Structure 1
């Protein structure tokens, strides 16, 4: 079951907080992502933990510095968290986490190669009420075990997880604590963090939009519509031909551009003989109404191969 250290990169994408649809009643989320490595390398410590408010990382801890540190704008916020106390908590979680990774490796006799163990847990608030909570783990990129707070119990998703379940449920109080954390402690912590964070999380950056055209002789023309420099993350992007929606290929969803902003794009193919008008439609919570950026073959005859529109 060996995997390279680079599996961490793909897992970070898979286990990132889910994209939330933005609206006036959108939820706020608090999510913790933990990663443990059996064979750390440069740039990848043995253990690291990152906490997110919505999609924004606000503190980080790893096994090298062993200190929880606020990130981004939260590094300028006073009184949001007792970082010394948080550091001690993360040290304790690091120890448990790495012991569990070793237990799994012993079960599978995975002594060779590099192996990863990741955990993600957190909660959401909508209109100041808890609207969701989750707690799950993965080993080498595969589902391992998750907590069902309705039972409540740890549910094994891998043969080795049976041993983990027995260990984590050795005393009934451990299950009760996990349930209480998801239903009470996590939402309470999120509400406290929001007292310092709502202005930042509620920011609205409208997208800029550009259309580029590329054509290889004898083949279809490729139109690419790119939306960039927007926040928050949720966006709808699609093409129409003569006002009819077209099936188009996404560029991989919504991707971070750095500095807390995002980009996304869609592509559509246009046959050489097609003279219809194509329009890229962009809807985002920062816009009073969706953008419609027009492209037609007449622009090609004038030698234009790119259109751009900036947010107003």
Structure 2
């Protein structure tokens, strides 16, 4: 499934495309009054769910991250830095225009953008280009019409500006349908093996006493890739009713983590087994917590 934006705060992360698909996504964030330690503008580019370069208004440089920082010839980073500086300027001008529309030139506001493309079996299979203001949908591009679709009162002015010349709309359509997929295919020649890799999960089981003296057992899986994983608890070959999976979260190193918990009364001392299924495992993994051996 092609990743799209969700509100609060506009996106909660980039997800992996379906098997056989690859995506190139750019995420932009601009702040009208950045607090101390925050950046006025920052951009991150993703190949699938893996960040591969960062740019911000302080450095003015597009800088690749591991493992792409050691790849020669993938991109002209000085040229990419120039492009991102130009996009930063346009992005922040749009933020100022919105604030002027709402007659709030001194307020603290956030403008975010997400755009990119997906290919499946080496052919274009999806695209997205959307913006949000203070976490709410602002404007999006429909490449089939093609046209910018206002989703906020102030966006009508933005549409007029971005469609002042017919060629502007055609360029946006061409970017999503031609330029972006071509760039993605180029990047894949350097990145496919990294994106197609499978890292099996490391599993750890812990326990703690909950209020009321019940025990809570946690099955933690981490350092796995790709992000899809299944966890559940069994006891005496029966699947236990447990807390829902907490979700799958980035681990900060290009892999993911997830966990599942179950709460049981203290007199229940039979062994517990956590079952894990993941693409990186040749077969499902079962890890046992034997309470009797822990006393």
Which of 223, 227, 237 aligns to 2:231? It is 237
2:292 is aligned with 1:301: yes
Which of 7, 12, 15 aligns to 1:18? It is 15
Q: Normalising by the residue count of structure 1, what TM-score does the alignment of the two structures yield? A: 0.84
- Runs (4 or more) in structure 1 with deviation over 4 Å come to 272-278
Aligned equivalents of 1:245, 1:126: Cα separation in 2: 39
Which of 101, 126, 139 aligns to 1:132? It is 126
2:205 is aligned with 1:211: yes
Return closer, same or farther for 1:237/1:130 CA change in 2, 3 Å cut-off. farther
Return closer, same or farther for 1:217/1:62 CA change in 2, 3 Å cut-off. closer
Shift of 1:168: 1.2
The structure with higher relative contact order (CA 8 Å, sep 6+) is 1
Return closer, same or farther for 1:146/1:238 CA change in 2, 3 Å cut-off. farther
Aligned residues of 2:45 and 2:51 also touching (Cα < 8 A): yes
Give the CA RMSD over aligned residues: 2.2
Q: Normalising by the residue count of structure 2, what TM-score does the alignment of the two structures yield? A: 0.88
2:231 is aligned with 1:265: no
Shift of 1:113: 4.0
Spell out the pairing of 1:1-312 with structure 2 (5 A cutoff): 11=9, 14-21=11-18, 25-216=19-210, 218-240=212-234, 242-244=237-239, 246-251=241-246, 253-272=247-266, 278-295=272-289, 299-303=290-294
Q: Which runs of 5+ in 2 are unaligned?
A: 1-7
Aligned equivalents of 2:245, 2:107: Cα separation in 1: 35
Number of corresponding residues: 287
Shift of 1:286: 0.9
Return closer, same or farther for 1:147/1:119 CA change in 2, 3 Å cut-off. same
Aligned equivalents of 2:27, 2:103: Cα separation in 1: 26
Shift of 1:81: 1.2
What SS does the corresponding residue of 1:167 show, helix, strand or coil?
A: helix
Aligned residues of 1:15 and 1:33 also touching (Cα < 8 A): no
Q: Which runs of 5+ in 1 are unaligned?
A: 1-9, 305-312
Q: Deviations over 1:132-184 (max 9, x none)?
A: 21111111111111111122211122221121112112222111111111111
Aligned residues of 1:239 and 1:248 also touching (Cα < 8 A): no
